[in-house]
Structures are given as structure tokens and as C-alpha cells.
Amino acid sequence: MAARTLASHGLLPRIRVGFEKVRRWRSRGASLGPRQLVQTMRLQRRVVGGGRVYVSGRAAVRLRQGARIEIPSGGRLMLGSGGSNDVMDADRLRAAVYLGSGARLVVDGRARLGYGTKIRVAPGATLTIGDGVYVNARCLIIASHDVTIGAGSLLGWDCQVQDDSFHQIRRTDGSWPPVKRPTVIGEHCWLGSGVLVLAGVTIGSGSVAGARSVVSRDVPERTLVAGAPAAPVRGEIEWRV
């Protein structure tokens, strides 16, 4: 479109504002492509609290009415980032965030979600992610009610965390157990690759779940669990990146 046509459509000022925003994002250290920049700017409008969102890889984001991303000032959520593990992006999977109406995604600091990781927060539900959390590639987090991932926790690739069993099985006493129960991963926990954390589970801070574990019961603090169902292997552990 010629400059005169652009001007007559009132587009030039808007494009100028757009470029100015791009310049500011870049000056903040974001190395985003044009597509990510547009997505980032669009999503930023839905953030409450002064924090920032970066769509750093491929990502699909859908926020229904009244859904909010809450990030306090100084906090940051990076969507679709790969860290040093670029091989996970070989199949170009999109990260996806879906927040149902009135859902909340709270990021209490700086957090990263890897390539292909999907997050679904149901209407009215809350997902809280602490400072320094890294959710690696291809994970799935389903919050139908309340999921918390504590500060400094690390999820290996292909993990699944959920607070909902979706369907019920009647107990022998005739009662129907609840399907939605809060799931809590404490601070500084490490889930090896392919770990499944079921509804209602609390994993104590400092604990580790070995690769492919199915964590169906609470885990005490600083405990290594492994297997399906995950059972304690040792206590009083320390782990580091």
C-alpha cells in the first residue's frame, strides 16, 4: 500500500506506534520475531499487575471473558521457550494456554513454559506458578479447580499435572468421590520426564519424582519417589540443577 493510501486510512500513526512498541520490547532484551511480537503485545494487554508476558516461540493463546493473567511488577512469563534444549522444537509444536471464563493464571515471579507445553485452566479455576519455575517441553497442566507449582520447581519434558480425574468410580460404600481436588507441587521440586501427578496430590518441597512416575499419593518434603504408583525411595534428599 502506498504511503498516501496508508495515511488516508489512518494506518500510518498506528504502524508508527507499533514500531515504537517493537523497539521498546527489543530494548528490554526480547529477541522475538514479528509474529511473536504481535502475539506478545496482544497478550500483554490481558496481564494484570505490571508484569510481562513474552510469546517467545510458537504459541496459541485463548483467554475467555473475565480470564486474567496476573503477574506482579518485575515478574515475567515466557511462553514456548526452549532454553538450551532446542531439539525439543524439532517438530515445531506450539505451546498453548487456554483460560476459561473467569480463570486465573497467576505467575508469582519469572517462569518459563517450554515448546509444545499446554495449559488449560477451566472456567473459574486457578493455576499458580511460582518464581523460577521451568516447565519443559510438551508438558500438560490441567487446572479444573486449583493447581500450584511452587517456586524453583522444574518439570522435565512430557510431564502431566492435573487436579481433575474427569470421571468418577463409585466406592464400595456407595459414595462418589470428588473428581476435582487441589494439586500442589511444593517449592524446589523436580519431576523427571514423563511424570504424571494426579488430582489431590501434594508434593512436599524439595522432593523429586523419578522419570515416568505416577504420583497418586502425597509425597513428604525432600523425598525421592519413583515408580507407578510412586513410592518413596529415600528421604532427606538434596538436589540441584
**Other C-beta atoms lying within 10 Å of the C-beta of residue 54:** 25
Choose between 80 and 192: whose C-beta lies nearer to ligand COA. 192
Positions in the binding site for ligand COA (CB under 6 A): 156-157, 192-193, 208, 210-213, 226-227, 233
The C-alpha atoms of residue 18 and residue 22 are separated, in whole angstroms, by 6
Choose between 61 and 139: whose C-beta lies nearer to ligand COA. 139
Choose between 63 and 219: whose C-beta lies nearer to ligand COA. 219
Contacts of 16 (CB under 8 A, 6+ apart): none
| Cis-peptide, bond into residue 178, ω within 30° of zero | no
Choose between 130 and 192: whose C-beta lies nearer to ligand COA. 192
Shortest Å, Cβ 73 to ligand COA: 30
The C-alpha atoms of residue 51 and residue 132 are separated, in whole angstroms, by 14
The C-alpha atoms of residue 18 and residue 24 are separated, in whole angstroms, by 10
C-alpha cell at 224: 525421592
Choose between 38 and 211: whose C-beta lies nearer to ligand COA. 211
- Classified as helix, coil or strand, 182 is coil
* Closest alpha carbon to 54 in 111, 15, 108: 111
Shortest Å, Cβ 214 to ligand COA: 10
Choose between 106 and 139: whose C-beta lies nearer to ligand COA. 139
Shortest Å, Cβ 48 to ligand COA: 31
Shortest Å, Cβ 185 to ligand COA: 14
Shortest Å, Cβ 59 to ligand COA: 22
Contact between 42 and 22 under an 8 Å Cβ cutoff? The reply is no
Shortest Å, Cβ 171 to ligand COA: 29
The C-alpha atoms of residue 14 and residue 154 are separated, in whole angstroms, by 41
Altogether, the residues listed in the chain come to a count of: 241
C-alpha cell at 13: 500513526
